[in-house]
Amino acid sequence: MYCLNKEQASLFTRKKLRTGIVFSLAFALIVMTAIALYGDLPHLITAIANFRWVFLPIIVGLTLFNYFCRFLKWQYYLKRLKITIAWRKSLLIFISGLSMAITPGKVGELLKSYLLKRSTGEAVSRTSPIIMAERLTDGIAMIALASMGLALYRYGWELLLALLSCVVIGILVIQNRRLSLALLAFGEHLPLVSRAARWLRAFYESSYTLLQWRPLLLAITIGIISWSGECGALYFVFAGLGLGFGLDLFIKSMFIMAVSSLVGSVSGLPGGLGTADGSMLGLTRLLLTSSAAIAGAATLLIRLCTLWFGIALGSMALLIYRATQHTAIFIQQGTGREPQTEDARSLVAPESLPDLQAAAALSNSGDTLQ
């Protein structure tokens, strides 16, 4: 049996994961109940019942379009880091990551890198910058999508400008190799940082590769295209609730979706629960309708077709991955048994855990989107 200290053993355990999911689901139930009460439950049910369900396949299709484009970016980043993996397995790992949208941040951030380590042997510290780069470029893409509405409605520009400034400063620091290496060298002399120096260096090297100008601009472009899909999904939710059609509605849909997603991400709450929902509800009432029932119905429907649909899809992919690998994904706690296969033993080997801890701290700092 491996001897792991308490902090290491708590990283990836079924108990921790189960607890995080239970608390997140309970919080999600509270949020949905609050929206239902705010929207006057009988009127909200009537609004949902009168929804034009013929738009549902289009809404789900646009959500899948978003996932497809983001998978292309994931594949591009793997290619940039010269990581070779069969595209089917890569797709399964990518979709599995969607299941972590409502789990505590570190587990969610590391799942894809963790599964990549199992499949390719690549260190988590080398692949977790992909997650950070995804978040950064998706965040910039969302700011770009919100910019047209920002120019028209002048709502929330302070938050968007602050976010963009932080992102740009971070990217410039990473691209300035001399400065970054100097900071890393200085950190090696600090007691706490020196313990993770090797993993910080690996993390930086991958980040530098991914955030050079050419891959950065390409990833932002893909992000704009992909998240336009979910903005389109919100547009059809509004249309299905009887708010009409047209360019003005689409611009407002882009603005509401982008700003709500960014607010949810900045909050740090799993899946942006509460904050993204509240922002969407408030902006819908401010820009589109005075009806709390319509705004509440729109919020519940779009979250069902994006966040919860993604979690369901990711959970299925995770189960498929687990079944095809024939090993448990997370450590069993309190069983007194060690993993049954060589693949599983490598997953929890003590030498891999500092790699996970260092990468977790860094990847979490790049969290901007679900």
Residues of the chain short of pLDDT 70, as ranges, are: 1-20, 103-109, 155-156, 326-370
User: What is the C-alpha R_g of the chain?
Assistant: 21
* Domain ranges within the chain, ordered by starting residue: 7-364
Over residues 254-288, the pLDDT tens digits come to 999 998 988 888 777 777 888 889 999 999 999 99
Q: What is the pTM of this model?
A: 0.81
Whether 259 contacts 279, CB under 8 Å: yes
Distance CA 261, CA 276 (A): 6
pLDDT value for 268: 73
pLDDT value for 157: 72
pLDDT value for 357: 47
Residue 331 pairs in a beta bridge with 13
pLDDT value for 94: 94
pLDDT value for 196: 73
pLDDT value for 310: 93
